[in-house]
Structure 1
Amino acid sequence: MPKIVDKAKMRDTILDAAMTVFAEHGVHASSVSDIAQAAGLAKGTLYLYFDSKEAMTTAIVDRHFAALEAQIARGAPGETLNGFLEDLRRTMDIPAEQSSFHRVFFEVFGPSFASDAFTSHVAGFFDRLGAHYAERITHLQDLGEITPHHHAPSIGRVLASMMDGVVLHRGLFGIAERRHQRMIREAVAVLGDGLRPLPPGPE
């Protein structure tokens, strides 16, 4: 009876091995043979799942961003600005061990940004994230929770960029937990002040 292979698990095994090899040697200095050896697989078996080293690189990035998208997009849209701000706070509040991936990410994949195709692929995540936030902002504008004069698509992309910056700084520069929490609180407070409709003035 032929052995049943869990293809998703095998893909993850290969990508984990590739990430280990890339972190040790760099993407461009690593070979498919190096990755196959690290995964404990024959080179031909590896090619059944990925047709090139570039395909593995893209898949690692996709896997990372897919996990982030699932985390950010979970749950129904909030009905209040405060709820929206709390969602943003939770997204920026990543543990130190998770943030350390970003240093590895740039060390490993930094040279790949010279490729327009790779850059466009990563940019697609931020396009989707910006659109996600724009949709939620528009919803809250319709409810009167956010002042209507803001351009939701622009604010959505700003939020995606800002949150990326806060998370990256945590990982790249080893910002201490207390300082990181203060940064998040201040960022959320400034956002809330800017988005919240002004109270009606005296008649």
Structure 2
Amino acid sequence: MPKRVDRTARQEEILAAAVKVFARKGFAASRIEDVAAEAGIAKGSVYLYFPSRDALLAGVFESYAAKSEPASADPGTGSALDRLDHLVRATVEMLAAHPDHARVLLDVWASNPPLDLADMYRRHRGAIADLLVEAAAAGELRTGIGAPHAAVIVGAIEGCLVQSLADPDVSLSELAEPILQVCVAGIRR
């Protein structure tokens, strides 16, 4: 009798292997054979789940996006700025906990593959902008701070992420408080 394979579990194994390979070699230098070897399966098995290397990258990107959703899905409690504080902290913790995904994301930025990065940024900026608009309405923000500043907050997080990937002396986890001091405390009234 043939061995039954849990399709979802196997797909997750392939994605986990792809993340390791893409993080180690970069997407452009990675081959399906490399991912299969990392996953301990035959090359053809990868194609049962992902019809191409680009589809595999899209799967990795989607799994990364899914890991980042809980950070914005659970806004915490309190004022809009308290919830923004929670959102920034949760995002930094998620990025620090998944450095290989972050390396793949950096590679994705550089290679400009056919993925909708703009949509991901719109969602992240939107979650932050909503909190900024609410905080402004509640009188919590300094004058002149509003939804456009969401891009600056996203940029601060990602800038720290890039530095932590490029320089092993920079700990992303240790940058959560400075990001909050500048991006949340710095806009508070």
TM-score normalized by structure 2?
0.76
Other structure's SS at 1:48 match: helix
Q: How many Å apart are 1:185 and its aligned residue? A: 3.5
Q: Which amino acid aligns with 1:196?
A: R
Quote the offset at 1:2 in angstroms: 6.7
1:78–1:157 distance in 2 versus 1, CA, 3 Å: farther
Gaps of 5+ in 1: 198-203
Contact 2:95/2:102 (8 A) holds in 1 = no
Over the matched positions of the two proteins, sequence identity in percent amounts to: 26
Change (3 A) 1:97 1:155: closer
Contact 2:95 2:161 in 1 (8 A): no
1:183-202 to 2 correspondence within 5 Å? Answer: 183-192=175-184, 194-197=186-189
Deviations for 1:49-92, whole angstroms, at most 9, x for unmatched residues?
11101111121122123202222332456425245335424533
Unaligned 5+ segments in structure 2 are none
Look up the match of 1:156: 150
Contact 1:81 1:140 in 2 (8 A): yes
CA–CA distance in structure 2, aligned partners of residues 86 and 111 of structure 1 = 29
Bigger radius of gyration: 1
CA RMSD after TM alignment: 3.3
Name the CA distance, whole Å, in 1 between partners of 2:143 and 2:4. Answer: 56
CA contact (8 A) 1:81 1:145 kept: yes
Q: 1:171 to 1:44 in 2, by over 3 A?
A: closer
Corresponding residue pairs, total:
189
1:2-34 deviations in Å (ceiling 9; x for gaps): 754322211111122223333454433433234
Distance 1:139 1:75, change over 3 A: same
Counterpart position of 2:39: 39
Q: CA deviation at 1:96?
A: 5.8
Q: Which amino acid aligns with 2:21?
A: V
TM-aligned CA deviation for residue 123 of structure 1 = 3.2
Cα 1:170/1:78, change in 2 over 3 Å: farther
Change (3 A) 1:142 1:18: same
